[in-house]
Amino acid sequence: MALKAKTSTRIGVTILGWGIALWLFFPIFWMILTSFKSEVQAISTPPKLFFMPTLSSYAEVFERANYWHFALNTVTVSVAATAIAIALAVPAAYSMAFMPSKRTRGTLLWMLSTRMLPPVGVLVPIYILARNTHLLDTCTGLAIVDMLTNLPIIVWMLYTFFREVPAPILEAGRMDGATRWQEMTMVLLPLALPGIASTALLSLILCWNEAFWSLNLTSSHAAPLTAFIASFSSPEGLFFGKLSAASTLAVAPILVFGWISQKQLVRGLTFGAVK
């Protein structure tokens, strides 16, 4: 009797688990599927699940826009913003975790509060500043802005990771004669590497998907994938095949990257709230 109830519960859980997963994933699946349809197949009613796949949409997308140009911009901006942010955040998080003062908590909360300023509130001045410093429509300019918007969250994540490093290990380093710099580079960083990796991952994802600044601060030269996809949106919205192909191209790298690294990522996302 008990066994039977258990089996039925398990079947229920399996069905529910898969049902919800499929339902949530369906839009992505459908996007990928549609990208392999011809335009006619893409808008057929009722929608077709089985069809002769074609690469014609991809061919057209590549013909119309230089995907590699946008992708390269996205990669450049994401990697640069992440690298600089981590380089700045490591010493800050080290200082907060291992040399706390009365103001540490206040500083951290203030940093996070800067992240809450709606970008649109400062769009005009940032636009004008970028124009005056010739950073408009450059990867450098976009990378700086992305770096600044992500810095508080990166500091916070690293801080929670560093706090998990037992202080005696760093003290042992100090007893062994390590300077602050050696302590940080030779003891702390190797220990916190998994944490730093998942922080970098999150930063890469956030930069990759950042839409507001990339749409407003770039036009052609430095336009990343968010702009690439925007160019396929309004007037030709009804060309579902091309739209899907372009969308798939824009999200595929980060999606695959995210799948591979999700275990790593999740450790960092808990922000110390889960021990």
Partner 1 sequence: MATVELKNLRKTYLTEEIIKGISLSIEEHEFVVFVGPSGCGKSTLLRMIAGLEDITSGDLLIDGQRVNDVEPGKRGLAMVFQSYALYPHMNVYKNMEFGLKLSGMPEAERRAKIENVARTLQLEPYLNHKPGQLSGGQRQRVAIGRAIVRNPKVFLFDEPLSNLDAALRGQMRVELSALHRKLGATTIYVTHDQVEAMTMADKIVVLQKGVVEQIGSPLELYHHPRNLFVARFIGSPPMNFFSAIFQGGDAAGSSVQLRDGSTLYVPVTSPGLLPGTKVTVGIRPEHVELASSGPNSGVVEVIERLGAITLVHVRMPDGEIIVVQTDGAVLTDVNSPISLTLPPRNCHLFAPDGLAFEACHRHPLAA
Partner 2 sequence: MQAVLEHSPPAGATARTTKRTGFLLLSPSVLILLVWSIVPLIMTLWYSLQNYNLVDPTLHGFAGIDNYWYLLTDPDFLHALLNTLVLVAGVLVISIGGATLLAVLYDQEFFGRGIARIMVISPFFIMPTVSALLWKNLMLHPIYGVYSAMMRAVGLTPIDWLARFPLMTVMMIVAWEWLPFAVLILLTAVQSLDGEQREAARMDGAGPIARFRYIILPHLGRAISVVVMIETIYLLTIFAEISVTTAGGPGVASTNLAYLIYSRALLQFDVGGASAGGVVAIVIANIVAIFLVRAVARNLEA
For residues 161-200, which are near partner 2 according to CB under 8 A? 163, 166-168, 170-171, 174, 180
Quote the least distance from Cβ 94 to partner 1, whole Å: 17
Contact track, partner 2, 13-52, x by CB under 8 A? xx-xxx-xxx-xxxxx-xx--x-------xx-xxx-----
User: Position of tokens 């919205």?
Assistant: 237
Report the chain's terminal Cα–Cα distance, integer Å. Answer: 38
Q: Looking only at residues 87 through 146 of this chain, which bind partner 2 when binding is defined by CB under 8 A?
A: 88-89, 91-92, 94-101, 105, 107-109, 111-126, 128-129
Residue number, 45 or 220, with CB nearest to partner 2: 45
Q: What is the number of residues in the chain?
A: 275
Rounded CA-CA distance 242/42 in Å is 9
Quote the least distance from Cβ 52 to partner 2, whole Å: 19
CB 14 within 8 A of CB 25: no
122 binds, among partner 2, partner 1, none (CB under 5 to 8 A by kind): partner 2
Quote the least distance from Cβ 178 to partner 1, whole Å: 6
DSSP 62-89: HHHS-HHHHHHHHHHHHHHHHHHHHHHH
Residue 64: closest CA among 229, 177, 174: 229
169 binds, among partner 2, partner 1, none (CB under 5 to 8 A by kind): partner 1
The DSSP H or E segment spanning 274 is: none
Which spans of this chain sit near partner 1 (rule: CB under 8 A)? 166, 168-169, 171-178, 182, 186-187, 190-191
Check binding of 212 to partner 2 (CB under 8 A).
yes
Q: Tokens representing 272? A: 């110390």
175 binds, among partner 1, partner 2, none (CB under 5 to 8 A by kind): partner 1
Cα within 13 Å of Cα(153), Cβ side: 21
